[in-house]
Chains A and B, each alone.
Chain A
Amino acid sequence: MTRLVLVLGAFGLLVLLLAIGLSLDPREVPSPLINKPAPAFELPQLDQPAEKLSPEALRGKVWLLNVWASWCVSCRDEHPLLVQLSRTKAVPIYGLNYKDSRDDALAWLKQFGNPYVASAVDADGRIGIDYGVYGVPETYVIDRNGVIRYKQIGPVTRETIEQKILPLVKKLEQ
Chain B
Amino acid sequence: MRLVLFALWLVAAPGFAQEARPLAEDEAAEQRLVAIAEELRCLVCQNESLAASPADLAKDLRRQIREQIKQGQSNDEILQYMTSRYGDFVRYRPPFKATTLLLWLGPFVLLVAAAGGLGWYVRQRRARIQPAALSPEDEARVAALLAGDPPRGADEKRA
Give the B-binding residues of A (Cβ under 8 A): 26-27, 29-33, 99, 124-126, 128-135
Contacts and interface: CB of A to CB of B under 8 A. Distances in A.
A32 B82 CA distance: 10
Given A129-B61, A129-B64, A26 B46 contact: yes
24 contacts: A26-B46, A27-B46, A29-B43, A29-B86, A29-B89, A30-B87, A30-B89, A31-B86, A32-B84, A32-B85, A32-B86, A32-B87, A32-B88, A99-B56, A125-B56, A125-B57, A129-B85, A131-B85, A132-B85, A132-B86, A132-B87, A134-B57, A134-B86, A135-B43
A129 B84 contact: no
B44 interface: yes
Contacts of A131: 85
Given A29-B43, A124-B60, A125-B57, 5 more contacts: A29-B86, A29-B87, A31-B86, A32-B85, A134-B44
B75 interface: no
Contacts of A126: 60, 64
A129 B64 CA distance: 9
Interface string B2-45: 00000000000000000000000000000000000000000110
Contacts of B56: 99, 125
Interface SS, A side: loop
Contact of B60 (A32, A129, A135): A129
A103 B56 CA distance: 21
Interface of B: 43-44, 46, 56-57, 60-61, 64, 83-89
A1 to B, nearest CB: 15
Please give me the 10 A-B residue pairs with the lowest Cβ-Cβ distance, nearest first: A134-B43, A132-B85, A32-B87, A29-B89, A125-B60, A132-B86, A134-B57, A29-B87, A30-B87, A134-B44
A130 B88 CA distance: 15
Contacts of B89: 29-30
Contacts of A124: 60
Contacts of A130: 85
A89 to B, nearest CB: 32
Contact of A32 (B43, B44, B61, B83): B83
A131 B85 CA distance: 6
A31 B57 contact: no
A130 to B, nearest CB: 7
Contacts of B60: 124-126, 128-129
A32 B61 CA distance: 17
B27 to A, nearest CB: 25
Given A125-B60, A129-B61, A33 B44 contact: no
A135 B85 contact: no
B41 to A, nearest CB: 9
A124 B61 CA distance: 11
Contacts of A129: 60-61, 64, 85
A44 to B, nearest CB: 19
A26, A124, A132: residue with the most chain B Cβ atoms closer than 10 Å: A132
A32 B43 CA distance: 14
